[in-house]
Amino acid sequence: MQVVGDTLYTGHYEWVQRPTNGGTSSDWTVRYYADRVDLSDRSSPRVGAKINIPGLLVGGSPQNPNLLYTIDYRWDSDTAKDDFDVVEVQGGRAVLISTTTLDGWVGSTFVRGTTAYVSAQQYTDPNNGGTGSTVQLHAIDLTNPNAPVDRASAAAQGWGWLLDVEGDRAVVMSGWGPNGVDIYQLTPGQPPQFRQFTRTLGWWSNGVSRQGNSLYLSSGYWGVQKVDLQ
């Protein structure tokens, strides 16, 4: 569910069976949709339009409510890739404006102003000359939606997923189990820069809040942890 401008969208997908091999067999795939919710009658909301989009709806432009952002997941041979797509809603359909390809598995996307922040996880087999598990934090500048600029942090070893963006800091979960979070400095026009690692309470943190120069991480029944930013 996303709010873009003064419009509420929900997302869903539908299974589609497509014939292959000249119709002798078939493959199953899905089509993704953004459902524009009509709230003119608040007591009876309804779907005003079901708009076919390339992937999962992850946000939209605060300046132009007709621009939506999606993440499309795919495989390129045996390599995971994700496309960050910008589409323009024109009535009941979406027109593709631009595509930014990200290597790896993408986690949650956070849109802040004209920048979308997302982590991407990669794995290359060390037995075949790979580097194992690495993660990068991407800052996608959407000032020009026709030509987004992707600025990515240096790759860090291990597993990690973007947990939240609070002001000029991004918090990335670091590793499996009782490990911690990596905190990145966010500066407009520059790639995210790693600033500090903090070991967390319990298995993982599931929420972040910021007051001044401190972050507060919630960890379920392990309590709330304060982290002073460096």
Q: Where are the beta strands (DSSP E) in 39-157?
A: 46-53, 56-60, 67-76, 79-90, 93-103, 105-112, 115-124, 132-141, 149-152, 156-157
Q: Which residues contact 182 (CB under 8 A, 6 or more apart)?
A: 156, 160, 171, 172, 174, 194, 196, 197
Q: Residue 203: its pLDDT value, please?
A: 73
Q: Residue 112: its pLDDT value, please?
A: 95
Q: Residue 222: its pLDDT value, please?
A: 82
Query: For the domain 2-228, what is the CATH superfamily, name and number?
Result: YVTN repeat-like/Quinoprotein amine dehydrogenase (2.130.10.10)
Tens of pLDDT, residue by residue, the chain (230 residues): 999 988 999 999 999 988 887 778 888 889 999 999 988 888 998 999 999 999 999 999 999 999 999 999 887 777 778 999 999 999 899 999 999 999 889 989 999 999 999 999 988 778 877 777 889 999 999 999 999 999 999 988 888 899 999 999 999 988 765 588 999 999 999 999 999 999 888 777 888 999 999 999 998 778 899 999 99
Q: Residue 176: its pLDDT value, please?
A: 66
Domains of the chain, by residue range, sit at 2-228
Q: Which of 127, 195, 117 is nearest to 161 (CA)?
A: 117
Q: Residue 202: its pLDDT value, please?
A: 76
- What's the DSSP call for residue 148? -
Q: Which residues contact 170 (CB under 8 A, 6 or more apart)?
A: 110, 117, 137, 162, 164, 183, 184, 186, 192
